[in-house]
Structure 1
Amino acid sequence: MKRRTFLRTSVAGAGAIAFSGSLWQNAALAAPAQLSPSPYGPLQAANAHGIQLPSGFTSQIVARSGQTVAGTPYTWHNAPDGGACFADGSGWIYVSNAEIGSGGGGCSALRFNSGGSVTSAYSILSGTNRNCAGGKTPWNTWLSCEEVDTGYVYETYPFGGTAAVRRSAMGRFNHEAAAADPVRQVIYLTEDKSDGGLYRFIPVTWGNLSSGTLQVLKAGTGTSGSFTWGTVPDPDGQPTTTRKQVAGMKVFNGGEGCHYANDTVWFTTKGDNRVWQLNLANSTYELAYDDSLVTNGTAPLTGVDNITGSTFGDLYVAEDGGNMEICIITPDDGISVFLRINGQSSSEICGPAFNPAGNRLYFSSQRGTTGSSSGGITYCVTGPFRT
């Protein structure tokens, strides 16, 4: 039984089955993903948007940087980055960060009806710096993270009507992504530095991020093993940065995307093209993917960046560079290409997120065909996704 199949089974049967150490050890020692055929079949020729998709899938452009969103007066932001979807009655909302510095950053939202048409667009955060990725909370807010050395996390409100709030207790460092764990009632945070850490924030009250404890993962130098957490004494990081405060902190090379599901956290590191996996039930970590460990062909995933998951258990990992692809890591530890964008080699793919039904995947090309932050394009792909 492969890793995520095992984890889904364990969650479904929690309370009815007691797992032995050997079973968890087998799950923890599974090999990193290897090249395999896509569950959706081969890529077809590029469509009118320059996107290669499997048969049965289509794409549309929902917004372009510097242009008004169709049917609204709102101008879409430059450099679209991390994003997420939120259920909104029979429709949904997609939020997207703006990775612009010097106070030009922030976050925008697109509201869709049940048919997938945009009904409104608006800002939910402005005046911040390099809002790169972030994470969705169980109470339907979006954590927008600043990717600067003195960056903060801002809690934003996708439905509008409430001003964003800076959550200083979550630490001041080069934030990238966040993922909420409702079981342990913590938020995991990645750090985009070559010697960065992986953090977790434990709020005093779950659902209220105004106060709590910031901790960083501690482990050896290997690519698998056990881990613990150490409390960061000074989350403000002044004068000593958070990643230099705890002895034994495990160093990760350029933390990027982060995703939680079923007692597991997956996060990516761009400096070494890896996807890491934390098995929270037994406090072990391992590699879910490493491009240098693909032994049965050419590694399909390079420039790893944002990551999300489907309800089926597939992981979708976007590339910053590489071949401008979104790749799939399946529950049986296979990796394949889901889509490829042609003619945009100076861009990166950001913000992959599924709508609530799981049949639409939103994402952006941050710099589009121009290679400039003003050329960003936000897409939607529709098709027979596994759910």
Structure 2
Amino acid sequence: MTAPFDRRQFLAATGSAFGALVLSGCRSHPLASADAGGFAGYGPLVPDPAGILDLPPGFSYRVISTLGEAMDDGGTVPDRADGMGCFALAGGEIALVRNHELMPEHDSGGSIATGFDRLSDGRMAAGGTTTLVLDAATLAVRRQFRSLGGTVRNCAGGTTPWNSWLTCEEFVGRAGDKSGVTRDHGWVFEVPAGAPGLVDAVPLTAMGRFNHEAACVDPATGYVYQTEDRPDGVVYRFIPRTPGRLADGGRLQAMVVDGLGDTRNWDSPAMTVGGRHAVRWIDLDDVEAPMDDLRLRAAAAGAALFARGEGMHMGEGELYFCATNGGARKLGQIFRLVPGHGGRADMLELFFESEREDQFNYGDNLAVGPGGHLIVCEDQYTDTVDNHIRGITPQGRPYALARLHLQTELAGACFSPDGRTMFVNAYSPTRTLAITGPWAGSRRL
């Protein structure tokens, strides 16, 4: 087992040039909690005259990228914008690396020169990422372009301390199946935030082949945690052979919750809100799993089950993740995992379980925002209920942060490095929004 090492060692291992970037991008901020005085939200949502997104008083949004818009590489903005990460760049710029959850039959927004998989009909697989480079001060888009191609159904992912985006395939098609793919899928790929165009699409096979959703990195160890969007999914931990160099390989493990095999609370309240359980990890073999049975083998060895693990985000010394339809009402759960550095056991807590639709309804992408508040994007499709962005205070009190009037999901919520702007996607048709306002306690890091 790789021994834990401290943050300074990690930064040295990954290069001093990255040191100033560890707290940049869509990471939490060590701010005083806005909940200390009984914070219950930013106020009632004000109807948007444009009929897109209602926000509290003092907040506003602008649309910075839309489906079909011309990009600088000759393509157009693809559809199905999903997970997204935000990063500081040199020269007063920031970058948004944005997933596109596209299947082989979908429009890629123009030809893709290079990528992971060319389909049986000769086209490059449509999924991947685009990158938007913005002026950090004005948020004006300076350029946007395709940065990864040839993948399928890039759903969520996560930022790394070395300024890259881990983009995850929520698709386990196999070469030669009816989807038209010519290579096996179900991988994680890495996209450097500063890449000027298409990157080499290298699958990080040691991180496992499964129905990937999100990922996050513990900067104290370099370990990567991953969720799996399956009703009987498990939570994974990847211990890299070389911290900060995931392509060097490593060990994949699954989470075991001592005394508890099922966290979903569907049939009985196995976990109570606020209850903590010790966690240990078991090694997995045959992680490239050609039969898509990694979670089944993990569960047979004692790994805990989670109800559609989705959004995951690293805070200050702890990480949070959503289980989309977990809980007695099947409206969603949020878990808090505290890695046990220095030989201590990891601890898992059921931080929040939704009991009503107005708390949240199918939480998906998740971020840690200013003041340590959780920002949860809803992902449910009905003709009568709008998707929201929900805030949850550090004390576990939910509030409405935004209401979307389009019949699509919200995804990819993340904050600018200074904490003053939240970016989020309306999934389809693609719209990327920048939201500014009096974020509680935001300040420049």
Fold equivalence (TM over 0.5): yes
User: What secondary structure, in the 3-state scheme, does the structure 2 residue paired with 1:245 have?
Assistant: helix
Q: 1:183 aligns with which of 207, 217, 220?
A: 220
Gap change, CA 1:64 and 1:183, over 3 Å in 2: same
Q: Which amino acid in 2 is paired with 1:262?
A: E
2:324 matched to 1:259?
Answer: no
C-alpha deviations, 1:125-154, integer Å up to 9, x for none?
A: 011000000011111111110001341000
Which blocks of at least 5 consecutive residues in structure 2 are unaligned? 1-6, 8-34, 105-124, 173-184, 263-269, 327-331
Q: Which amino acid in 2 is paired with 1:54?
A: P
Q: Which amino acid in 1 is paired with 2:416?
A: N
Q: 1:142 aligns with which of 154, 158, 165?
A: 165
Q: 1:313, CA displacement in angstroms?
A: 0.7
User: What secondary structure, in the 3-state scheme, does the structure 2 residue paired with 1:235 have?
Assistant: coil
User: What secondary structure, in the 3-state scheme, does the structure 1 residue paired with 2:372 have?
Assistant: coil
Gap change, CA 1:77 and 1:206, over 3 Å in 2: same
Alignment of 1:318-333 (within 5 A): 318-321=377-380, 323-333=386-396
Gap change, CA 1:72 and 1:204, over 3 Å in 2: closer
2:246 matched to 1:209?
Answer: yes
2:439 matched to 1:385?
Answer: yes
Structure 1 contact 97–133 (Cα < 8 Å) conserved: yes
Alignment of 1:19-98 (within 5 A): 38-68=40-70, 74-89=75-90, 90-98=92-100
User: What secondary structure, in the 3-state scheme, does the structure 1 residue paired with 2:206 have?
Assistant: helix
Q: 1:260, CA displacement in angstroms?
A: 1.0
Structure 1 contact 156–165 (Cα < 8 Å) conserved: no
Q: Which moved more, 1:130-139 or 1:323-332?
A: 323-332
Aligned-residue RMSD, C-alpha: 2.0
C-alpha deviations, 1:312-371, integer Å up to 9, x for none?
A: 2111000002631111111122110101111x13x110110111111111111112xxxx
User: What secondary structure, in the 3-state scheme, does the structure 2 residue paired with 1:312 have?
Assistant: helix
2:338 matched to 1:279?
Answer: yes
Structure 1 contact 173–242 (Cα < 8 Å) conserved: yes
Q: 1:110 aligns with which of 118, 128, 132?
A: 132
% same residue: 32
Gap change, CA 1:181 and 1:351, over 3 Å in 2: same
User: What secondary structure, in the 3-state scheme, does the structure 1 residue paired with 2:48 have?
Assistant: coil
TM norm structure 2: 0.73
Alpha-carbon distance in structure 2 between the residues aligned to 1:240 and 1:116: 42
Give the match for residue 365 of structure 1. 426
Give the match for residue 416 of structure 2. 355
C-alpha deviations, 1:55-111, integer Å up to 9, x for none?
A: 111111111112225x88551111000001010122201111010012210100100
Alpha-carbon distance in structure 2 between the residues aligned to 1:240 and 1:377: 33
C-alpha deviations, 1:177-221, integer Å up to 9, x for none?
A: 000101122000000111001001100111110210000101213
Alpha-carbon distance in structure 1 between the residues aligned to 2:421 and 2:433: 10
Alpha-carbon distance in structure 1 between the residues aligned to 2:433 and 2:215: 22
2:361 matched to 1:309?
Answer: no
Alpha-carbon distance in structure 2 between the residues aligned to 1:328 and 1:141: 26
Alpha-carbon distance in structure 1 between the residues aligned to 2:145 and 2:192: 11
Q: 2:236 aligns with which of 174, 199, 224?
A: 199
Give the match for residue 119 of structure 2. none
Q: 2:400 aligns with which of 337, 340, 357?
A: 337
C-alpha deviations, 1:294-328, integer Å up to 9, x for none?
A: 6xxx6421111000112421110000026311111
Q: Which amino acid in 2 is paired with 1:63?
A: S
Which blocks of at least 5 consecutive residues in structure 1 are unaligned? 1-10, 12-32, 368-374
Q: 2:256 aligns with which of 203, 218, 238?
A: 218
Q: 1:380, CA displacement in angstroms?
A: 1.1
User: What secondary structure, in the 3-state scheme, does the structure 2 residue paired with 1:205 have?
Assistant: coil
2:147 matched to 1:124?
Answer: yes
Alpha-carbon distance in structure 2 between the residues aligned to 1:235 and 1:81: 26
Alpha-carbon distance in structure 1 between the residues aligned to 2:67 and 2:220: 38
TM norm structure 1: 0.83
Give the ranges of 4+ consecutive aligned residues of structure 1 lying more than 3 Å apart after TM superposition. 36-39, 71-74
Structure 1 contact 72–119 (Cα < 8 Å) conserved: no
Structure 2 contact 390–399 (Cα < 8 Å) conserved: yes
Q: 1:240, CA displacement in angstroms?
A: 6.0
Gap change, CA 1:72 and 1:382, over 3 Å in 2: farther
Q: Which moved more, 1:154-163 or 1:328-337?
A: 154-163
Q: 1:151 aligns with which of 174, 186, 194?
A: 186
Alpha-carbon distance in structure 1 between the residues aligned to 2:221 and 2:320: 16
Q: 1:287, CA displacement in angstroms?
A: 1.5
